[in-house]
């Protein structure tokens, strides 16, 4: 998501680091991934992996954690992808993965259904998709930002790609959105030479805003207004790979 949501993948994560920028969203993603973790196994492919800051949640329950991203991605820092590709055409053999993961990326691709069809193609029958669908976020300034998804829309897309939805875990709510907007404004203010003076009060404001909005999310939940949904879906046993994605026709190599 914008104004910091997509930047989550460039930052260290933690459950109790509430003085850090956008802890409010990071710890909710971690919580959702922990709920989805029992479905992860075997060979896992992270589409749009960045530097894999959330990999620690799933790495210990899978055999191998593969990552792919664009060469031009600004989310790649210290940990490089295993290979580079677009999500719509993965250079991976059909039926070679047990789990496919996608976080904070589907809203930025022009044809999200094709990404889901590619995930279906590379998964073995019985394998699981774990995909985050953004519902609330400000639009990216550079304009390469296309979609928002309700839970119903997300489940409709995964069904169209040939999956059976297994579970949907909500990520945040309206109060989280308010908190992230406030933090984004503070982050823009806390820059340049004045940061010597503003750093400590801004960090203190992070703590107050994030803990307050976390408390409001719990006390006054907004089920119809979510930051995102983490959807877990299963490729049915014996199902043919989804067709229509470029990779299903031509991308047949793998690691």
Tens digit of each residue's pLDDT, the chain (255 residues): 344 444 454 454 555 577 888 899 999 999 999 999 999 999 999 999 988 999 999 999 999 999 999 887 777 777 888 999 999 999 999 999 999 999 989 999 999 999 999 999 999 999 999 999 999 988 887 768 999 999 999 999 999 999 999 999 999 999 999 999 999 999 999 898 988 899 999 999 999 999 999 999 999 999 999 999 999 999 998 655 444 333 433 333 333
Written as six digits, the tokens of 39 are: 């479905």
- Is the alpha carbon torsion for 51, 113, 132, 134 positive or negative? positive
Q: By C-alpha distance, which of 171, 181, 184 is closest to 225?
A: 171
Residue with tokens 């989805």: 36
Domains of the chain are 6-17+26-173+224-237 (3.40.50.150)
Q: What is the pTM of this model?
A: 0.86
Burial degree of 72 (CB within 10 A; 0-12, 13-18, 19+): exposed
User: Inter-axis angle of helices 23-36 and 195-219, to 10 degrees?
Assistant: 50
DSSP states along 88-121: TS--S-TT-EEEEEE-S-GGGSS-HHHHHHHHHH
Distances (CA, A) of 227 to 120, 125, 179: 25, 31, 11
SS3 of residue 142 by DSSP: coil
């Amino acid at each position: 998501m914008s104004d910091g949501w997509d930047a989550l993948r460039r930052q260290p994560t933690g459950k109790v680091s509430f003085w850090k920028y956008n802890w409010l969203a990071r710890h909710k993603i971690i919580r959702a991934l922990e709920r989805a973790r029992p479905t992860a196994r075997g060979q896992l492919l992270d589409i749009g992996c960045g530097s894999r800051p959330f990999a620690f949640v799933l790495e210990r329950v899978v055999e191998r954690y593969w990552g792919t991203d664009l060469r031009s991605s600004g989310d790649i820092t210290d940990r490089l992808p295993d290979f580079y590709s677009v999500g719509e055409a993965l250079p991976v053999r059909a039926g070679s993965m047990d789990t496919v993961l996608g976080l904070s990326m589907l809203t930025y691709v022009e044809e999200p259904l094709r990404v889901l069809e590619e995930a279906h193609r590379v998964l073995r029958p019985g394998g699981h998709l774990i995909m985050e669908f953004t519902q609330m976020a400000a639009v990216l300034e550079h304009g390469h930002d296309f979609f928002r998804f309700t839970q119903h829309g997300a489940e409709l897309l995964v069904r169209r790609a040939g999956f059976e939805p297994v579970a949907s875990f909500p990520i945040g709510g309206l109060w989280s959105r308010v908190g992230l907007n406030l933090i984004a404004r503070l982050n823009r203010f806390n820059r340049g030479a004045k940061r010597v003076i503003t750093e400590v009060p801004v960090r203190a404001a992070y703590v107050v805003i994030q803990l307050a909005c976390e408390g409001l999310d719990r006390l006054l939940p907004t089920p119809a207004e979510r930051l995102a949904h983490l959807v877990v879906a299963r490729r049915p046993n014996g199902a043919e790979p989804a067709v229509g994605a470029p990779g299903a026709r031509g991308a047949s190599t793998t690691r």
